[in-house]
Amino acid sequence: MTNRFARIYPMYFLLTTFTFVAGAIFLNQNQIHDAKIYLLNITFFRGFFTDFKFTGIAQGWSLTVEELFYLLAPISFILIKRSKIYLIIIPLILLTIGLVSVFFFKEINFHGFMGEMNFMLLYTFFGRSTEFFLGIFLALLYKQRPHIGFNGLFTYLGLFIIFLMVFILSTLKGDSTYGLHHPMGIVVNNVLLPAFGICTFFWGLLTEKTILNKILGSKLFETLGKSSYIFYLIHMGLISIVIGKTVGNQLTLFILLNILSFYFIIILKNPLINFKKTNVKAVTRIIQCQQIIFFTFHTME
């Protein structure tokens, strides 16, 4: 768990800090107000507030969900080792906690803290825990039966179900912003898609030899996989906006963001993870990278 945190947090902290500092300097944002939101962001607490979930690095709300899972993972693993029934019981307990929280806080106007049902179900660990425990179930199943495969059946069936579920979500949109905000959309997004689509697809990738398996296992996709976390952090927000205004083409933007993500991997991520070996050279690289980002943003103003 410590190693996972070390892989996630340094880059998140660095890019979140850049986002708020750049906002204060170039966008003249309220620094006192932003200081409070900044603190909520770097501590992951913003993920419990409707009003703050998209602040800073907007997509970073999901890291609150992920880190809470890591926090509860040890006791969850102990219970699951005792009995597999806890794969069902723990998500139900977490969902119940979420429901009770919404019932209690919905009348308290505190920046939307656990105050909306859709927010709890879509943006918090209490509503999204099913996906994590489905992953644990898949890992346990693979550990027991690692060699069951049917020449691509599960791979392509899972892929088909994923596309089918996405199509269903698109038809459920109605008056909602997105289909997943519809009550049935929440069921599709939180349960049906991960259980029948993603798990089936992953099982196929684990147990079957297909063309898709070879492509995803290639050096190119291995490299993209290593930089995918940083791509996740920068594909929306200030960096993406600045580059997007420069190139004006979504495909070019996508390629450049992937190149930048890999560049960050080389000069930033490894030095930041290995705290004990961080030296003057590594710090110099970090400062140089920050200067490049700020200079690029400044020239776009």
Two tokens, residue 175 = 């008056």
Kindly report the CA angle at 175 between 171 and 181, in degrees rounded to 5?
70
Residue with the larger pLDDT of the pair 282 and 155? 155
The string of pLDDT tens digits covering residues 170-201 is: 888 766 678 888 889 999 999 999 999 999 99
pLDDT at residue 186, rounded to an integer = 93
pLDDT number for residue 278: 45
Distance CA 70, CA 139 (A): 16
pLDDT at 291: 45
Residues 230-259, mean pLDDT to the nearest whole number: 88
Whether the predicted pLDDT of 133 surpasses 70: yes
Task: Say whether pLDDT at 288 is over 70.
Answer: no
Residue 279 pLDDT grade (very low, low, confident, very high; cuts 50, 70, 90): very low
- % of the chain residues with pLDDT over 70: 82
- Residue 124, token pair as written in the block: 């918090």
SS3 content of the chain, % helix, strand, coil (to 5): 80, 0, 20
Return the H-helix or E-strand segment holding 125. helix 125-144
CA distance readout (Å), 211 to 142, 197, 217: 21, 19, 10
- Quote the percentage of the chain above a pLDDT of 90: 45
Residue 98 pLDDT class (50, 70, 90 cuts) = very high
End-to-end CA distance of the chain: 41
Q: Is the pLDDT of residue 286 over 60?
A: no
Tell me what pLDDT residue 135 has: 93
- Span of 3-12, 108-117, 198-207 with lowest mean pLDDT: 3-12
* Separation CA 5–CA 53 (nearest Å): 20
Residue at 199: amino acid letter? C
Question: What integer pLDDT is reported at residue 152 of this predicted model?
Answer: 86
- How much is the mean pLDDT over the chain? 83
Q: Which of 241, 220, 256, 267 is nearest to 57 (CA)?
A: 241
Residue 221 has pLDDT above 80, yes or no: yes
Task: Tell me the average pLDDT across 109-121.
Answer: 89
